[in-house]
């Protein structure tokens, strides 16, 4: 009895510590706050159609991977916390041209138009030459043009392509003019670009080198000296934001696959807060109703089950914060030690459940909670007591046969374990399949929380309930103690 009570106290202390961690880590500034999905935190959801009509079938996979990487690099420049960029292949019945999509989720970003522009932008940077004589001749004939459009067309015809363009730029940097403090864009050319830039500047001293972005001249400096180090500057009349955007777009170049925006969804943070508040309220109501039923119908074991259910909720919430794998490893080791004297089948089931969960992709990461994930968690609260009900009903049968309290509890846990293990293992396998083949965050979010809930319930419903029940259950059998341990209204025999 003393051994059971010591273990029960240890369990309650650890559960309380975990509960405090869940509460304290939600304070502002903590790095362990819940990771909320786009539907809860608010943000922008963009879906693009990838045009692969000009790609060979063998190049499609690599091109889509390159597209994802380029867009991911662009998105990372937004400073968004935990953006999601992924490609998706539609069902086989779809046509080739519409079979591939790019999905981008940007939590906290509500300007969908700017986000779409930044993701799909493909800046065109060109360097063109115009001789000093041609420029002087043009300036002398300005009064001869009948309209501004004719003047602009004649001006553009002055510039001749040099072959130097944005594809030969290795990287760009935001810099500031040391005299005017105006933002400028610093260029570093590739080896090919450096050699061509050096040749152009060496052979055209005194001429003009026009820098064109998306067909518009943004700077037309005079070449004063040969530039041999492969570095240059774009000093248009930029604001800081414009210069930053140009640096970002030039750094990550053109998209390897043309994309077209086909769907935009913006979710305000207030809507996500409503979903979170509703989920919390539903969870509290579900817990209270389940607790009342357990205590009324199962009495003392029901009260113990409520405590185990509270441990289950605390453990789940902690796992959502710190990640599936490290959290469950701690649980496995802790409850493995506590259960060393228990049924060998239970000890075998602990590592099996853990190994099955590790098959879930992304199990090493904190769980991102979505609206469907919250729904799965609330559903799992009810499912978490299934094992307890099986055990308690089995205990009732043993008590009805006239067995003692402790003997009935041992038989209840031992005989119910195989059914609990098999049903939960089947649920875990189903959840893993659902997660693996789910094509949307709605499905995968539900599946991951469901699997985590099933695995954790195998620990709390069996170990926590067993520890606590054996710590408080009376050893002697009487009508009062039998009433407290039994359930329902069946007439029981007592052992004298």
In whole angstroms, what separates CA 474 from the centre of its chain? 48
pTM > 0.75: no
125-254: which CATH number, 3.40.50.620, 1.10.3720.10, 2.160.10.10, 3.30.1360.200? Answer: 3.30.1360.200
Q: How far apart are the C-alpha atoms of 473 and 140, rounded to whole Å?
A: 105
Q: What number of other Cβ atoms are within 10 A of residue 314's Cβ? A: 22
Residue 29: its pLDDT value, please? 63
Cβ atoms of 169 and 211 closer than 8 Å: no
- The domain segmentation of the chain, as residue ranges, is 1-34+268-323+366-485, 43-113, 125-254
pLDDT in tens, the chain (496 residues): 677 778 778 888 888 888 888 888 877 666 677 777 777 777 888 888 888 887 778 878 888 887 888 788 777 766 666 678 888 876 444 444 457 888 888 877 777 777 787 777 666 778 899 988 888 888 888 878 778 888 888 888 888 988 888 778 888 888 888 888 888 888 889 899 899 999 999 999 999 988 887 677 878 888 888 888 888 888 767 788 878 877 776 766 656 677 888 888 887 766 667 777 887 888 888 889 988 988 888 888 889 889 988 988 888 888 888 765 545 555 554 455 444 444 444 444 444 444 444 444 444 456 777 778 888 888 888 778 888 888 888 888 877 787 777 788 888 888 888 888 888 888 888 888 888 777 666 787 788 888 888 888 877 777 788 888 888 877 676 676 666 776 665 554 544 4
Q: How far apart are the C-alpha atoms of 449 and 431, rounded to whole Å?
A: 9
Q: What number of other Cβ atoms are within 10 A of residue 98's Cβ? A: 13
H/E run at residue 54: none
Q: How far apart are the C-alpha atoms of 375 and 369, rounded to whole Å?
A: 10
DSSP assignment of 339-388, as one string?
TTTS-HHHHHHHHHHHHHHHTSTTTTSPPEE-HHHHHHHHHHHHHHTHHH
- The torsion angles phi and psi of 8, rounded to 5 degrees, stand at -65, -40
Residue 492: its pLDDT value, please? 47
Cβ atoms of 158 and 195 closer than 8 Å: no
* DSSP for residue 98: G
Residue 237: its pLDDT value, please? 72
* DSSP for residue 81: S
Q: Which of 308, 307, 297 has its CA nearest to residue 484?
A: 297
Interhelix angle 371-384/386-400, rounded to 10 degrees, is 10
Q: How far apart are the C-alpha atoms of 414 and 411, rounded to whole Å?
A: 5
Which residue stretches of 25-131 are H helix? 38-41, 60-76, 112-120
What is the residue whose two structure tokens read 């640096």? 247
Tell me, which fold does domain 1-34+268-323+366-485 have in CATH? Multidrug efflux transporter AcrB transmembrane fold (1.20.1640)
Cβ atoms of 29 and 325 closer than 8 Å: no
Long-range contacts of 289-294 (CB under 8 A, 24+ apart): 290/381, 290/382, 290/385, 294/385, 294/388
Burial of 488 (0-12, 13-18, 19+ CB in 10 A): exposed
The edge-to-edge listing of strands for the beta sheet with 259-267 is 84-89, 100-107, 43-50, 259-267
């Amino acid at each position: 009895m003393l051994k059971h009570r010591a273990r029960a106290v240890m369990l309650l202390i650890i559960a309380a510590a975990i509960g405090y961690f869940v509460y304290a880590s939600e304070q502002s500034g903590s790095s362990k706050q819940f990771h909320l999905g786009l539907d809860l935190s608010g943000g922008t959801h963009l879906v693009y159609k990838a045009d692969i009509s000009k790609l060979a079938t063998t190049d499609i996979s690599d091109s889509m991977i390159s597209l994802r990487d380029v867009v991911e690099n662009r998105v990372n420049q937004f400073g968004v916390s935990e953006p999601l960029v992924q490609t998706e292949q539609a069902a086989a019945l779809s046509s080739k041209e519409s079979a591939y999509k790019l999905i981008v989720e940007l939590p906290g970003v509500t300007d969908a138009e700017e986000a779409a522009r930044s993701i799909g932008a493909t800046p065109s940077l060109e360097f063109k030459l115009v001789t000093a004589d041609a420029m002087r001749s043009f300036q002398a004939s300005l009064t001869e043009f009948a309209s501004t459009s004719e003047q602009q067309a004649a001006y553009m015809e002055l510039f001749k392509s040099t072959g130097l363009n944005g594809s030969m730029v290795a990287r760009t940097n935001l810099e500031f003019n040391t005299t005017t403090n105006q933002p400028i864009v610093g260029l570093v050319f590739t080896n090919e670009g450096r050699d061509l830039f050096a040749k152009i500047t060496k052979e055209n001293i005194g001429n003009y080198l026009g820098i064109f972005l998306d067909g518009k001249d943004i700077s037309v400096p005079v070449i004063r000296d040969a530039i041999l180090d492969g570095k240059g500057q774009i000093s248009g009349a930029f604001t800081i934001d414009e210069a930053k955007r140009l640096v970002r777009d030039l750094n990550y170049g053109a998209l390897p696959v043309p994309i077209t925006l086909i769907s935009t969804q913006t979710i305000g943070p207030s809507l996500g807060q409503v979903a979170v508040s509703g989920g919390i309220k539903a969870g509290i109501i579900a817990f209270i109703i389940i607790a009342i039923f357990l205590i009324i119908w199962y009495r003392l074991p029901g009260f113990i089950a409520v405590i185990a259910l509270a441990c289950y909720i605390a453990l789940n919430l902690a796992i959502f914060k710190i990640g599936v794998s490290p959290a469950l490893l701690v649980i496995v080791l802790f409850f493995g030690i506590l259960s060393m004297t228990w049924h060998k089948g239970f000890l075998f089931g602990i590592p099996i459940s853990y190994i099955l969960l590790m098959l879930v992709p992304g199990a090493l990461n904190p769980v991102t909670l979505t609206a469907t994930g919250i729904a799965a968690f609330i559903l799992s609260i009810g499912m978490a007591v299934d094992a307890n009900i099986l055990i308690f009903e089995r205990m009732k049968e043993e008590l009805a046969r006239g067995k003692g309290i402790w003997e009935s509890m041992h038989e209840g846990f031992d005989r119910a374990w195989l059914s609990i293990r098999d049903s939960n293992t089947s649920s875990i396998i189903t959840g893993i399949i659902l997660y693996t083949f789910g094509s949307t965050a709605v499905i995968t979010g539900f599946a991951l929380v469901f699997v985590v809930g099933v695995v954790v319930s195998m620990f709390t419903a069996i170990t926590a309930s067993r520890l606590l029940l054996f710590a408080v259950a009376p050893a002697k059998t009487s009508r009062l103690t039998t009433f407290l341990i039994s359930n329902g209204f069946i007439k029981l025999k007592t052992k004298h």
